[in-house]
Amino acid sequence: MALKERIGTVVSDKMDKTVVVAVINRYPHPTYKKIVSRTTRYKAHDPENTCVLGDRVKIRETRPLSAHKRWAIEEILNKTSLAKEVKK
């Protein structure tokens, strides 16, 4: 059984060992054929608290870790300097 993977952006890192990742899904509208964007937010497990706001990450499906957490950080694709600017 293949596990699902998604690529998204960290939009919240305020929780301990958890980040919220926004994944944008783009698809053509069934009737009008215009490209529509839908954003889905996933709570993902980040055991070392390495992800910061704005990071581009790959998440993978995992067993339920809490009431809302079913994903885990697989790798950080792009680190951002956005968090350094916010903390200054």
CATH number at residue 70: 2.40.50.140
How many structural domains comprise the chain?
1
Q: What is the pLDDT of residue 74?
A: 97
Q: What is the pLDDT of residue 82?
A: 63
Is residue 4 scored above 70 in pLDDT?
Answer: yes
Cβ within 8 Å of residue 22, ≥6 positions away: 8, 9, 11, 39, 40, 41
Domain span at residue 43 reads 5-87
Q: What is the pLDDT of residue 2?
A: 80
The structure's pTM equals 0.86
Tokens of 55: 């990071």
Q: What is the pLDDT of residue 81?
A: 72
